[in-house]
Structure 1
Amino acid sequence: MPENAAYLRTLPWFARPGSRAWRCAAAPAAVREFHAALADYAPTPLKELPLLAHELGVGRVFVKDESCRLGLPAFKALGASWAVHRALAERAASGNEKGPVTLVTATDGNHGRAVARTARLLGQHAHVFVPQGVHPKAVAAIVAEGAKATEVAGAYDEAVRLAAQAAAAADAVLVQDTAWPGYEQIPGWIVEGYSTLCAEIDEQLATEGVLEGPDLVTVPVGVGSLAQAVVTHYRSRPSGRAPALLSVEPEGAACVLASLIRGRPVSVTTGETSMAGLNCGTPSSIVWPCLRDGLDAAVAVPDAGSASAAARLAALGVSSGPCGAASLAGVRAALSGVGADGRRSALQLGLSSVVVLLSTEGTAANPHTTAGH
């Protein structure tokens, strides 16, 4: 098979003109203040990779390296810590606080571990539902945080359903990073928590002389919470460039791409993928309007593309698991092969463009093929 045979088929792709003109309200400033006050907080690195810029035909490429965030190997602790803080404060204000509470969630790895770590640090309990296919090392990492882990004979969406049932039955607090009608407040706080990552990028780019912001930001997507935070950040800025925003999903779990193509939220049947933290079949209910109106484009990539991107990042000194490397895989796919000129034009990329790739996890988050949602 020729080396470029994979590009002879139609790329799973969607582009929407005019999204850069859409505007929304910003995340609250209190989020960044909260994280900055945490004992182990520090901004994660923004690494410039000139060789990637040359390979992609753009001016500069920066990778936001989330391989160590608040002591964990992925970005998820930002959302979990803020959401738990808000949820416990609300519970205390309502007079329902009667000793330690149990925080319940479903996860493919990183989100569950972040909730478990937050519970342990705050003297609370955690119960984490884990879907089929998660590597035992990922489950062990959750248990090592002091959490109870319940393994589910089903996919991620089934684990979410069982977690919600268990939380309701036990008067516990469900800390889930996907929303549905009737359960949207806590997922909204999780999205707010991720805004700290975007604020750091602004500050870090400024120190690199990029004062107007990036031209393209690429974000991996599971249920879409991080993507919502990215869209909210860049579509609420009063000044500076309005960058193109590109979402990336596994080909076998591209629920946001399918929803964008059909113009309404849809669920897809998921299979196995090395990008396990992105293996989600239904977009979060609160993210859909934001992604529909604020994303410029969406692409789906195969596992082989993610693996190749992870290897390239490793060679350039960036620890990135399959989910984190999906950002590079998505840009590579968009800017290569049949139709690449049209996709480059849709993203308005030129030889001087500044590209930011969000690498959402390190390899330590990903024993064998399991990453973490």
Structure 2
Amino acid sequence: MTENSSLPPSPTPAPTWFTQPGGRSRAWRCTPAPAEVREFHALLPEYAPTPLTELPSLAGEWGVGRVFVKDESSRLGLPAFKALGASWAVHRLLAERAAYGRDSGPVTLVTATDGNHGRAVARTARLLGQRARVFVPQGVHPRAAEAIAAEGAGVTHVTGSYDEAVRLAAEASAAPGAVLVQDTAWPGYERIPAWIVEGYSTLCVEIDEQLAAADIHEGPDLVAVPVGVGSLAQAVVTHYRSRPAGRSPALLAVEPEAAACVLESLRIGEAVSVRTGETAMAGLNCGTPSSIAWPHLKNGLDAAVAITEADSSRAGARLAALGISSGPCGAAAPAGAGSVLTGPGADERRTALGLGPASVVVLLSTEGTAAS
């Protein structure tokens, strides 16, 4: 027996989190996504709703009524949800070019990525007979870059952050026949990112249908969503804050501690950039909120929490034990929800989110393990 073996374990620290005061987010309303987005996706050859899996063991541990995981480990033939946004945006882009007589030849779809978005753009380009060029920042796993190249895209490796890769992709898109298809927006570049956000709405519509099939007709009480630049979170906010009536869930953003730009922006009250560090949650390693996402996040999110690498790793292992393939970014949602609902200060956090023993929690697992 070692000298310190009888010491009690170190207490679990309270998570880094921010909650909006007064619950005003649930009274805020916005315009819904177009209904034709789901109709478009339903016509794609590989389309099928991804599973919404109930996990009673997590519900018991967290002291809530029911917990569901939206499993995006296989979406339109890819191991992440990003194909929803890329396919819709490119469809809109090519339709517009055809309407204005600018479809004389193939275009080059240019983007920057931490992995999943770039592969989705590359796959969409290949299926539609277009070209793709993808800028990959430092820290992305080599297998992710190889998967993008396997789709036929040109891959440019960037010695720098995601934000630097975005800057270089935007510069490259000025070449003749090139179009930027980026899932973050800034002033002057907002239309295509808005289409990408619209594409993600299909995921939320599926959740409504699947909860109704589980005899939950008023929707969830809490939705936990991983956040990078905030595009998926914008889609989630849009879906739940565009409803005229009915139960309005608490919406929780989850970020890595190494790149908690939305949490910091909420804390300050305006969109800010943060210096990012290294994280296995590569798709969330973003330092600046999207300009079109920020107003929705500021007004429609209830709270944000930052998680550690260990939090994500433990959550991924737990999901795997429960039969769900979830990469580091996908595991962020259960890691964040678990840190909020349990541990020191949990009662105060649950009260702030309006959660009780009968609450329904939905976790968005945005990627499978093959996405890493």
Q: In the alignment, residue 57 of structure 2 is paired with which amino acid?
A: L
1:58 aligns with 2:64: yes
- 3-state SS of the aligned residue for 2:329? helix
* Candidates 100, 104, 108, aligned match of 1:94: 100
* Candidates 297, 302, 312, aligned match of 1:296: 302
Partner in structure 1 of residue 221 of structure 2: 215
- 3-state SS of the aligned residue for 1:194? helix
- 3-state SS of the aligned residue for 2:254? strand
* Candidates 160, 174, 189, aligned match of 1:183: 189
Flag the 1:257–1:52 CA change in 2: closer, same or farther, 3 A: same
Q: In the alignment, residue 90 of structure 2 is paired with which amino acid?
A: V
1:3, distance to aligned residue in structure 2 (A) = 4.1
Query: Contact conserved, 1:13 with 1:300, CA < 8 A, in 2?
Result: no
- Calculate percent identity across the aligned residue pairs: 75
- 3-state SS of the aligned residue for 1:126? strand
Q: C-alpha separation between the residues in 2 aligned to 1:159 and 1:271?
A: 15
1:168, distance to aligned residue in structure 2 (A) = 1.1
Q: Deviations over 1:329-358 (max 9, x none)?
A: 111111222221110001111111000000
Q: C-alpha separation between the residues in 2 aligned to 1:11 and 1:32?
A: 36
- 3-state SS of the aligned residue for 1:129? strand
Q: C-alpha separation between the residues in 2 aligned to 1:260 and 1:106?
A: 25
Question: Matches of residues 193-342 of structure 1 in structure 2 within 5 Å?
Answer: 193-342=199-348
Q: C-alpha separation between the residues in 2 aligned to 1:241 and 1:216?
A: 11
Q: C-alpha separation between the residues in 2 aligned to 1:43 and 1:216?
A: 21
The total of aligned residue pairs comes to 365
Q: C-alpha separation between the residues in 1 aligned to 2:363 and 2:10?
A: 24
Q: C-alpha separation between the residues in 2 aligned to 1:187 and 1:31?
A: 15
1:13 aligns with 2:8: no
* Candidates 154, 160, 163, aligned match of 2:160: 154
Query: Contact conserved, 1:224 with 1:283, CA < 8 A, in 2?
Result: yes
Q: In the alignment, residue 345 of structure 1 is paired with which amino acid?
A: T
Partner in structure 1 of residue 148 of structure 2: 142
Q: C-alpha separation between the residues in 1 aligned to 2:254 and 2:272?
A: 17
Query: Contact conserved, 2:113 with 2:162, CA < 8 A, in 1?
Result: yes
Query: Contact conserved, 1:14 with 1:257, CA < 8 A, in 2?
Result: no
Query: Contact conserved, 1:82 with 1:193, CA < 8 A, in 2?
Result: yes
Q: In the alignment, residue 207 of structure 1 is paired with which amino acid?
A: A
Q: In the alignment, residue 185 of structure 1 is paired with which amino acid?
A: R
Q: Deviations over 1:310-340 (max 9, x none)?
A: 1111111111011011001111111222221
Q: In the alignment, residue 103 of structure 1 is paired with which amino acid?
A: L
Flag the 1:71–1:153 CA change in 2: closer, same or farther, 3 A: same
- 3-state SS of the aligned residue for 2:67? strand
Partner in structure 2 of residue 370 of structure 1: none
Q: C-alpha separation between the residues in 1 aligned to 2:181 and 2:111?
A: 5
Question: Matches of residues 65-104 of structure 1 in structure 2 within 5 Å?
Answer: 65-104=71-110
Query: Contact conserved, 1:4 with 1:337, CA < 8 A, in 2?
Result: no
Unpaired segments ≥5 residues, structure 1 = 367-373
Root mean square deviation of aligned Cα: 1.1
Q: In the alignment, residue 355 of structure 1 is paired with which amino acid?
A: V
Query: Contact conserved, 1:252 with 1:272, CA < 8 A, in 2?
Result: yes
Q: In the alignment, residue 252 of structure 2 is paired with which amino acid?
A: L
- 3-state SS of the aligned residue for 1:150? strand
1:2, distance to aligned residue in structure 2 (A) = 5.4
Partner in structure 1 of residue 137 of structure 2: 131
Q: C-alpha separation between the residues in 2 aligned to 1:5 and 1:162?
A: 45
Q: C-alpha separation between the residues in 2 aligned to 1:2 and 1:141?
A: 46
- 3-state SS of the aligned residue for 2:210? helix
Q: C-alpha separation between the residues in 2 aligned to 1:100 and 1:34?
A: 22
1:133, distance to aligned residue in structure 2 (A) = 1.4
Query: Contact conserved, 2:113 with 2:165, CA < 8 A, in 1?
Result: yes
Q: In the alignment, residue 231 of structure 1 is paired with which amino acid?
A: V
Query: Contact conserved, 1:65 with 1:318, CA < 8 A, in 2?
Result: yes
- 3-state SS of the aligned residue for 1:38? coil
- 3-state SS of the aligned residue for 2:330? helix
Q: Deviations over 1:6-49 (max 9, x none)?
A: 41x56333333221111111000010000001011000000000
Q: C-alpha separation between the residues in 2 aligned to 1:322 and 1:4?
A: 25
1:134, distance to aligned residue in structure 2 (A) = 1.2
TM-score normalised over the length of structure 1: 0.96
Partner in structure 1 of residue 3 of structure 2: none
1:346 aligns with 2:349: no
**Deviates further, 333-342 or 207-216:** 333-342
Q: C-alpha separation between the residues in 1 aligned to 2:150 and 2:221?
A: 41
- 3-state SS of the aligned residue for 2:173? helix
Flag the 1:10–1:145 CA change in 2: closer, same or farther, 3 A: closer
Query: Contact conserved, 2:114 with 2:283, CA < 8 A, in 1?
Result: yes
TM-score normalised over the length of structure 2: 0.96
1:170 aligns with 2:168: no
Q: C-alpha separation between the residues in 2 aligned to 1:254 and 1:110?
A: 19
Partner in structure 2 of residue 31 of structure 1: 37
Q: In the alignment, residue 32 of structure 2 is paired with which amino acid?
A: A
Flag the 1:117–1:26 CA change in 2: closer, same or farther, 3 A: same
